[in-house]
Amino acid sequence: METVQQSSSNTETSPSTSAAPCPCTPATGPAPIPRIETGTIGLLFRDLLFSAVAAILIIAFLYQPVRVEGTSMLPRLEDSDRLFINKFVYRFAAIERGDVVVFRYPRNPETSYIKRVIALPGDRLRIDRGRVWVNGKPQRERYVPEQYRDSRSMAEIVVPEGAYFMMGDHRSISSDSREFGPVERSLIYGKAVFVYWPAKDAGVVR
C-alpha cells in the first residue's frame, strides 16, 4: 500500500483573533485502494489462454514426441527416454555432421532408428580400429566415451549423393550404417531436439 507523507507547521495567532483551520489539514481515513475492473481481468485471462493455445499448436505442428528404445545412443539417450524431434528443420536447413536424427530403417521402413550423422554425401569415410576418419582427417568424437568405443575397422568408402552415414554413440553395441549402409535422405524425417522425460535426462540433445 502506498505511503503518504504528511507535514505540519505552527501558526501564530494574536489574542484578538481566532485561529483559522489550516487549509493543508490532511483528510482522515485510509488511502483508497486501486481497483482492477473485471473487464481487465477478463482480457488478461483471454490473452493468457490464447497464448497457451497458440504455443501448444506450434509445438504440435513443429515437434513430435518419440520414445527411445534401446541403448545404442548412450550416454546421452537412455532406453525409454522421451524426447521431441523437429519435423520441419531440414526443410530449411542442411543436415550436418554430428546431428542426432530419426530415420526409417532402410531394411524395414515400418521401424524408426535414432543415430548420429557421421558423414555427408560425397565424404570419404573409413574406420581404423574404432577411429573414424572423414576426408582424411581423424574425428574428435567427444560424444563417444572411451568405455563405449570398439575396435572395428571398415575400408574407405565414398558416401553416395543423397545419403548419410549414421552411427550410434555406443559403438560396441550399435547397429548402424556399418551394417546396413548409408541412409537415403528421403528416409530422414526429424532432428532430435530436447529430452523432456525423465527429469534427470531432460535437456538439449547435442
Catalytic residue numbers read 72, 115
Which residues, including other chains, have CB under 8 Å from residue 96's CB and lie 6 or more apart? Answer: 117, 120
Nearest to 71, CA basis, from 154, 199, 164, 173: 173
Residue 133 is which amino acid?
W
For residue 198, give every residue at least 6 positions away whose Cβ sits within 8 Å of its Cβ, in sequence order, or none.
Answer: 81, 82
CB neighbour list of residue 10: distance below 8 Å, 6 or more residues apart: none
- Measured between alpha carbons, how far is 93 from 91 in angstroms, rounded to an integer? 6
- Amino acid letter at 59? I
Give the count of beta carbons closer than 10 Å to the beta carbon of residue 112: 16
| Residue written as grid cell 507523507 | 5
Residue whose C-alpha is closest to residue 157's, from 122, 196, 203, 131: 122
Pairing of strands 154-158, 137-138: unpaired
